[in-house]
A and B are shown apart, each in its own frame.
Chain A
Amino acid sequence: MSEEPNILLPEPGSLRWSDPPHWHGPITVNRMTTAQLAAALLLGVAGTALFGWYALRTLAISVAVALLIESAFHTLTQRSRRWSESQALLIGLLLACTLPATANWSIVVTGSAVAVLIGLILPGGVGNYLWYPVALGRIAVQLLYGQAIASGGWAVLAPGRLVTGDLGLARQLPPLMHWATAPLPAGTEAWQVVPTIEVLTSPLPAGAGASPAQSLADLIANHLPPWPDALIGLAGGSIGEACVLAAIAAGLLLGWQGLLRWRMVAAALGAAAVAAAVLPVYLHIEGHGLRACWVPVRLIDDGLPVGLVYVAYQMTAGALPMVVLVLAADPTSSPLTGRGQVLFGLVIGTAAMLLRAFTGLPASDYWALLAANTCVPVINRLAKRPIFGVP
């Protein structure tokens, strides 16, 4: 019509042909990778705030090694890959998040190299690995270095020294003092702390006459950091593990982008909560040795919600929040369908708590993720939907 004279009607032969569908959904691999990177960065930023330049150093070493190995591999095999297929940056970042900020550089290099070389490149890159490379790298350094990983101790920068402080100038937090209110001696820039998971996985010292509930109350009151501290990250831990709030924010971001399914998270955390409530707590009773106590199942004892609080600590301790909310969102190493993802979550939550209760294995949450990864082929077969119209 004459209203739009400048736009010509299409000429024959000028039209592009394409197969349906002509629309594409909003999420591409590129965007997925970007979302995962943003989630990893959230953890890294929280870690940097809590642990200062030590965390930055660990992150930088890990990322550099990962990128170097990947680009060396691409040069050797003369492949050019799209940015979205390059997972090394993401894996480098996340691997560093699983390590203490003070980890020795050789540990970081080994972890990153194992993750990228054995975890990612050897199986054939993204889409082909069974075990999530980050968890694989973390477990590898655990096996190779053992307790040496945390030889620098667990410290958190003191108030007023966040981000810029020196984690090396740490001092033991005085007993019954709080991170925020303890007076900071001169020359001290950080407080040595005991992460929640360390307390929870070691036997409870209990008085000979104390009831299990009393022992648990004692544990919560005197040995564990306040729960809000554990959430913020003041209780210490690895770079990405310490701040549970950062993990929750990362999980929300991944969920928003469709990578993380809330049903998987609910299944994992639900299973973990039930397992934590049901599994025994080991009491170390003077003169009597170790004794298993099936106490947490009584969530409320003598009117005190000690069981509930204990379960809440278990849920936020260690790497569980990061594993469930960030690492388990990896598309390749998680099951294909929504149903499968629920089973996957159940395996992670249950395995993590079983390992904590019965083995005391360090880095048990990564073991739990690897165990769940191992189950994925079976889960995929179990969770197949019936085909519509097949009698």
Chain B
Amino acid sequence: MTCHLPYDREGATIRIGGMVRRSRSFQGGAYLPVDRLRPVGEPIPDLPPAAKLVVPLLQHDGEAAEPVVEVGQLIEAGQLIGKATGPTSMNVHAPAAGTVTAITRAATAARTDGPAVAIETSQDVTQTEDKADRLSSLAPTDAAQLAEIADHAGITDFRRPGSGLGDQLRLVITSGVGDIIINGLPHEPLVTAGRELLRQHVGTVLATAMRLRDALHAERLWIAVDKSDRNLINHCRQAAHGHAVRVAALANKYPQAAPVLLAWAVTGRQTPIGRQPEETGVLVLEVEPLLALAEAARTHRPMTHRVVNVVGPAVARPGLYRIPVGTSFTDVLRHAGLARSVARIIEGGPLTGVAVETPDAVVTKQTAAILVMNHEHERVPVPGPCIRCGWCQDACPVGLDPQMLLNAAERDDSALARSLQPGACLACGLCSYVCPAELPLSQAAIRWKEHAAHNV
């Protein structure tokens, strides 16, 4: 018998050496149903490149890369196919060898239509490493060079709106950084790739993070992990032994993995509304970009794959797959198999994921999970009148009043909305999740958050 609405239990425990101190957690949040994990294979299985890949030239929020290949051109795996055009643009590389068949358009979860390069893959082209040799002259010991490697390899930091790892590093190079936190917590239920990669590659992750720590002259390096995951904590402790790396065992209360809440829980530093934790001297890093950086620095391979959790009641063989960017969701499902007919495909987790409009949409570097829902499990929410239970306010991790924001949206009262500080919203979706009346609270909050961002 469990309580359905676990109210906040504050105070995560952080262990430093043998000492235990109470750390700040955050108020609100909720313990969401945790999926019983099936054992994750090692190494994570590769999804073979599909016959046709459509690699988007814009995989984050920014400017699209400029295509540097021509139709009919033979390309190799890892070859640059889209070159960054400006500071908000990122390099794009070919995940597999083949022939460019078109400079075309492709749908992704984030946008229904964007520039892309279509590649007909082939197994014949011999893979060579020479295309990446331009990176080998770099001795990646200083931070600017590491940022440059990240730029060359097109490594994103997986945030939405996403930016490059290089941009993030440059931000802290200028402003200085006190703490680096490696996030080993799942972002939301089912979005577990980072945690599993940390479990399998903790040594590499730590080595890269320590190199960054030294390059950035950061004072402390933390690994944030779920405090109920003893196995991972022990793993991290062993790897961290003798390296002045601290393991922060935090309650896996959603949305603890949000960077601002992570920075707060681990360092006690609060990020002002509309800012990034990096601006307060806390660098929050995800596991996969760190691994990609390690790979780029060591073997000069760019980031062309993403480890994706393919789950949901409609999937026959759910699990983590290493998927080439540009693979269509149809090809992913063909590989993972279908157990039931598909009603919805959601890119990302069940709370913040984006429903894709067409199965032809492709996997990008932002794809963390693919959630496939079947018809039998579909239940369309029927919003009713608010009963003033206050669960939305209680669950909100940043203390907003989602019900008033919805009120303001219904009345289109932007003055009222502004007074409610919607800029603090993390878009975690928890208010809608807990609302017994099934009101579209998070949509209203996110709408006002965007409104606030545009009217600064």
Contacts and interface: CB of A to CB of B under 8 A. Distances in A.
Contacts of A128: 388
Nearest to A7: B338
B353 A12 contact: no
B443 interface: yes
Given A85-B385, A387-B399, A388-B26, A24 B438 contact: yes
Contacts of A302: none
Interface string A368-387: 00000000000000001111
A391 interface: yes
B393 interface: yes
A170 B20 CA distance: 65
B333 A336 contact: no
B384 A390 contact: no
A258 B359 contact: no
B350 A337 contact: no
B400 A387 contact: yes
Contacts of B4: 25-27, 256-258
Interface string A1-43: 1011001111111111111111111111101100000000000
A390 B387 CA distance: 28
Contact of A388 (B260, B348, B378, B394): B260
A279 interface: no
A227 B1 CA distance: 30
Interface in B2-42: 3-5, 7-8, 26-28, 30, 32
A387 B424 contact: yes
A138 interface: no
A7 B317 CA distance: 14
Nearest to B441: A21
Interface in A323-374: 331-332, 335-338, 340
Contact of B345 (A10, A28, A82, A257): A10
B260 A389 contact: yes
Contacts of A125: 385
Interface string B336-355: 01111111111010111111
A152 interface: no
B356 interface: yes
Interface in B406-456: 421, 423-424, 429-430, 432-438, 440, 442-443
Contacts of B261: 388
A127 to B, nearest CB: 5
Contact of A331 (B339, B348, B388): B388
Contact of A28 (B30, B32, B386, B436): B436
Interface residues of A, number: 56
A126 interface: yes
A387 B393 CA distance: 11
Interface in B244-277: 260-261, 264, 270-275
A85 B387 CA distance: 9
B134 interface: no
Given A22-B373, A336-B394, A256 B3 contact: yes
A388 B269 CA distance: 11
A127 B385 contact: yes
B388 A18 contact: no
B438 A20 contact: no
Given A28-B438, A385-B399, A20 B352 contact: yes
B335 interface: yes
B167 to A, nearest CB: 22
Contact of A261 (B7, B339, B353, B388): B7
A207 interface: no
A22 B397 CA distance: 19
A29 B438 CA distance: 8
A12 B398 contact: no
Nearest to B382: A82
Given A22-B373, A388-B264, A127 B7 contact: no
Most buried by A among B261, B338, B348, B360: B338
Nearest to B350: A23
A85 to B, nearest CB: 6
B338 A4 contact: yes
Given A25-B4, A26-B4, A386-B399, A9 B440 contact: no
Interface of B: 1, 3-5, 7-8, 26-28, 30, 32, 189, 260-261, 264, 270-275, 316, 330, 333-335, 337-346, 348, 350-360, 371, 373, 378-381, 384-391, 393-394, 397-401, 421, 423-424, 429-430, 432-438, 440, 442-443
Given A23-B433, A127-B387, A336-B393, 13 more contacts: A7-B338, A15-B343, A24-B438, A25-B5, A27-B4, A29-B437, A82-B384, A127-B385, A127-B386, A257-B4, A331-B387, A338-B394, A391-B272
Interface of A: 1, 3-4, 7-29, 31-32, 82, 84-85, 125-128, 255-258, 261, 263, 331-332, 335-338, 340, 384-391
Closest 3 pairs (CB-CB, A-B): A336-B390, A331-B389, A21-B429
28 contacts: A3-B337, A14-B342, A16-B378, A18-B355, A21-B442, A22-B351, A22-B353, A25-B5, A25-B30, A25-B436, A26-B4, A29-B436, A31-B436, A32-B389, A127-B388, A256-B3, A257-B4, A258-B3, A258-B5, A335-B390, A336-B393, A338-B8, A385-B399, A387-B273, A387-B421, A389-B272, A389-B274, A390-B421
